[in-house]
Chains A and B, each alone.
Chain A
Amino acid sequence: MWEIMSSRSTDAALLVDDQDTGPQGSVVLQARGAGKRYPGVIALDDVSISMRRGEIHALLGENGAGKSTLIGILSGITEPDSGEIVIDGTSTKFSNAAQSQSVGITTIHQEQTLAPDLTVLENIFLGRELRRGSLLGRFLLDERAMRKRVEHLVEEFGLTADDLRRPAGTLGALKQHAAQILKALAFDARVVILDEPTSGLADHERMSLFENMRRLRDRGVAILWVTHRLDELFGLADVITVLRDGHHVATVDPATQTPDSLVRLMVGRRRSAVAESSAEARGNRWSGPEEEILRLESVSRAPLVRDVNLVVKRGEVLGIAGIAGAGRTELARIILGADRADKGQISVNGKQVRIRNPRDAYKLGIAIVPEERKTQAVLGDFSLAKNISISDLSRVTRGRMIIDRSAERKLANVYVRDLEVKTSGIQQKIRNLSGGNQQKIVIARCLFTRPALMIFDEPTQGIDVAAKNEVYRLIYEFVDAGGGAIVISSELPELLRVSDRIVVMREGRVAGEVPAGPDQSEDERSDRAEEIMALAVRSSS
């Protein structure tokens, strides 16, 4: 996919040479000296940013760098302690989301902000419904006017007229994004803020989203784009602003940058050295016997998983690639016992088994780091210690009845230290940690059950570069100690780096297998990537 990106970068005609003189157009929105502090933390300190007409402005930074706070301030959700927002030359202040919207700023948040039970059309106008003209009509909705206003935009952004009448919850991630873009356009948004719009999208869906972003830019909209994926930026972003620890680090022209130089800006010199070294370090591979941990034989569950054969051995990372809907997560659910296979056999450690539910799977030594951290993994109000021990309380119970809380704390501390979780202590609530650290706790929970096989479903979704490397390190440590791992990921570069072999799934079947590994060269990797894409999308005939 990055092949595609770099070819695009050559025909991107508009590039900015300086942060003050952009050819795109006049400044629409400015934040000047914005600052925000929370008890004990300075979330944002004296940050300024300008957005111009028809410009895609990328905002980079690790988790905790202040991106969310800045977005919150611009979209009226967070009230700044200092600084000002200047729109069309006049200084304003937002105290709620509606005020920000009324001056033409629309924010497409990372979390689900569509109401799943409302139709797409209803969602587009939620909070800003059009009303009829007459005196009494002021109290009534004007459905026809609402439909008319977006009708001509629908097809351009990949929706159909029929989709407008569907409940938003029944649409896929891409169409939901399109709905949110329409939500911006229906009100002539001049500034659109996109918070990690590509997370959870498959590669071809990201391409359509990028097309939509270009269309928005061509309409003269200023786009502020938050992303963690550096490979996406080149060829699309016109300007890049980097934040670190709440400070403005640099505003640069992408043409002068490489992914590495951006990482250095994001994490700072000292820490980037650590991150890079830990990424490549995979010294002591498992040297014991390469026994099979898991074997699947013609496992099927209609219609999403068909006739799958695969093997995972001790000491190896098996990657599973495929576009969205290829059946990867569904396969993981079968291995975990969350769904049952219609037919086929599963063997664990050479013995044929029946996995009827996740509890069976845990007993067999299979643990999963699920795809959706927030909804499927994290127990938000629980402390770190409780989050770690929940999957195997037998390790900390006395006489199978009473939880020994001091033993729980002691053990949890060991994991928190080993995994280098950044926290004020194991009694902290998990919801107060950054995404990357939450993910480490979820991994700790799995490790706590002392599994033989771990399944990582999109393990680095929504976490920053440094934390990603940490997650890779944990995966390596696990397999190098004799475990086996399955990694499911929509990010090909990640999969190519972290896996030893990659199985490609297409329409529920195994379409092929490709070797991979950290020791492959860049050229080899891009060849493999092409191979994988070809396997993943080739139409079955």
Chain B
Amino acid sequence: MSFLPNNATVGQRLRAVVTSPNSGVVSVIVLVCIFASIKSSVFISVNNGFNIASQMVFILLLALGMTIVLISGGIDLSVGSVMGLCAGVVAKLMIDGVPMVVAMLLAVAAGAGLGMVNGLIITKLGLPDFVATLAMFGVARGLLYLWTAGTPFLDYMTDTYFIVGGLRRPFGYLTVPIIVALLATLIVAVTLRFTPFGRHLYGVGSNSHGAMLSGVSVPRVRLLAYVCSGLLAGVAGVLLAGQTTAVAPDLGTGYEVYAIAAAIIGGAALSGGRGRAIGAVIGTLTLAVTANAMNIAGVDPTWQQVVTGLILLLSVILDRASTLLRSRVVQIPIQPVAATTAATAR
């Protein structure tokens, strides 16, 4: 990041914009938007903006959790399955007559609990993150299949639950899922930026041994990262159950891939130590906007997957280019200074 003086020239400002994180991805979004609005007048409209927002909230919640885990140097493959299972929990409990609020809290707690199991397996048993969460990916999905016996949970919707799911909108375009996603983004952003826990996440992901020697409790930080991810998956599950009005056993399949893609497009590094909440938003937005644009343009859904993959590649490449440019700007002039120091030392 660069710090510009007030009298910076246009060139300096332009350079600062080009080299700022996420600039590549944002330019992709802008390009897609321009292209889509030329193709169709429907694209730039409040209604369509709302559609995009509604489509992206669930992935955004998962991507926020994924960003936290990626920053700490881990990866969570189980979020899609956990989200599905939590949706099942809330639906089944409400079918069984448990009050809505209690059911929702229990479902969120279940998500956090499954995240904690992930974290404990990783930190206590020392299993690789990939293996532990891949196992949870299978177990949570399997449990939902067993529990639903293969047929969806139905008939749990109540009037208030339609509001929770965003299908009924007492506040206009601000549906409950959108409000929750905004709040979650804000909380994650503040946590990452302004709290010791956030600082420790970056420290552990950037150099876990160094963080340990600095007195950071590395296992605790990693455990908490997975709890956050599971908790956010639980929240997403509760909201999703309200939107789908039925919990099929394959609910949320493949979402972990979108979450990882969104986090990485947003600038999180698989190697840890890097990532931002706003990046998760930008990454999710990229996926949602391109999917929406292709829908409007009538692109074959199979092709949409290909394009999504290419977008992922393109945004990471642009991010690399931007980083390279940035490092060139920062590069410190070599030698003369050092040489004179040594000379005077003599």
List, in ascending order, chain A residues with CB within 8 A of B338's CB: 202, 204-205, 323-325
On whether the beta carbons of B339 and A127 are closer than 8 Å, the reply is no
B276 to chain A: closest CB distance in Å? 12
Q: In the complex where A127-B215, A207-B342 touch, is A115 in contact with B335 (Cβ < 8 A)?
A: no
Q: Is the CB of A113 within 8 A of B214?
A: yes
Interface residues of B (CB under 8 A from A): 3, 194-196, 199-200, 202-203, 205-207, 209-217, 273-274, 327, 330, 332, 334-336, 338-343, 345-346
CB pair A127–B273 under 8 Å, yes or no, is no
B342 lies within 8 A of A203 (CB): yes
Is A464 in contact with chain B by the CB < 8 A criterion? no
B contact residues around A334 at 8 Å (CB): none
The answer to whether A113 and B209 have CB atoms under 8 Å apart is yes
Closest to B210 in A: A113
Is A109 interfacial (CB 8 A cutoff)? yes
B345 contact set on A, CB distance < 8 A: 4, 204, 207
Given A113-B207, A115-B206, does the pair A127, B341 have CB atoms closer than 8 Å? no
Q: Which of A93-101, A244-252, A345-353, A478-486 contacts B (4 or more CB under 8 A)?
A: A93-101
Query: CA–CA, A324 to B330, complex, Å?
Result: 19
Question: Do B210 and A507 have beta carbons less than 8 Å apart?
Answer: no
Cβ contacts under 8 Å, B203 to chain A: 115, 118, 122-123, 126-127
Decide if A325 touches B334 in the complex (CB within 8 Å). Answer: yes
Distance (whole angstroms) from the CB of B299 to the closest CB of chain A: 38
| Bound complex: CA A79 to CA B201 (Å) | 26
Interface set of A (CB-CB < 8 Å, partner B): 4, 75, 77, 96-98, 101, 107, 109, 111-118, 122-123, 125-129, 131, 139-141, 165-166, 170, 172, 183, 202-205, 207-208, 303, 323-326, 506-507, 533, 536-539
Query: In whole angstroms, how far apart are the Cα atoms of A118 and B332 in the complex?
Result: 19
CB-defined A-B contacts under 8 Å, sample of 24: A75-B213, A107-B213, A111-B209, A113-B207, A113-B214, A115-B207, A117-B205, A117-B273, A122-B203, A127-B216, A128-B214, A139-B195, A141-B194, A170-B327, A203-B342, A204-B338, A204-B341, A204-B342, A204-B345, A207-B345, A323-B338, A323-B339, A539-B336, A539-B339
Closest Cβ of chain A to B150, distance in Å, is: 45
Which residues from chain B contact A140 at a C-beta distance below 8 Å? 194-195
Instruction: Report the 5 A-B pairs with minimum CB-CB distance, sorted nearest first.
Output: A204-B342, A115-B206, A98-B215, A113-B210, A127-B215
What chain B residues lie within 8 Å of A204 (beta carbons)? 338, 341-342, 345
Q: Which B residues are CB-close (under 8 A) to A172?
A: 332
Q: Provide the residues of chain B in CB contact with A183, threshold 8 Å.
A: 214
Given contacts A4-B346, A117-B273, A204-B341, A127 and B200 within 8 Å (CB-CB): yes
Contacting residues, chain B, for A75 (C-beta < 8 A): 213
- Across the two chains, which residue of chain B brings its CB closest to A183? B214
CB neighbours (8 Å) of B194 from chain A are 140-141
Chain B residues near A117 (CB, 8 Å)?
202, 205-206, 273-274
A-B contact count (CB 8 A): 120
Task: A477 to B273: give the CA distance in the assembly, Å.
Answer: 46
Q: Which of B3, B210, B336, B343 is in CB contact (< 8 Å) with A115?
A: B210
Query: Are the CB atoms of B339 and A114 closer together than 8 Å?
Result: no
Rounded to whole Å, the gap between the CB of A460 and the closest CB of chain B is 22
Task: Out of A96, A203, A205, name the residue touching B215 (CB < 8 Å).
Answer: A96
Residues of B within 8 A of A122 (CB): 199, 202-203
Shortest Cβ gap from A166 to chain B (Å): 8
Q: Provide the bound-state CA to CA distance between A80 and B17, in Å.
A: 54
B212 touches A97 (CB 8 A): yes
> In the complex, what residues of B have CB within 8 A of residue A4's CB?
345-346
Once the chains bind, are B214 and A97 in contact (CB under 8 Å)?
yes
**B213–A77 contact, CB under 8 A?**
yes
Q: How far is the CA of A125 from the CA of B206 in the complex (A)?
A: 15
Contact of B207 among A77, A114, A131, A507 (CB under 8 A): A114
From the candidates A109, A125, A127, name the one contacting B211 in the complex (CB within 8 A): A127
Would you give the shortest CB distance from B199 to chain A, in whole angstroms?
6
User: With A118-B206, A325-B335, A539-B336 in contact, do A127 and B214 touch (Cβ < 8 Å)?
Assistant: yes
Nearest-neighbor residue (CB-CB) of A75 within chain B: B213
Min C-beta distance of A107 to chain B, whole Å: 7
Task: Find B206's partner among A107, A116, A207, A538 (CB 8 Å cutoff).
Answer: A116
Measured between beta carbons, the chain A residues less than 8 angstroms from B336 are 539
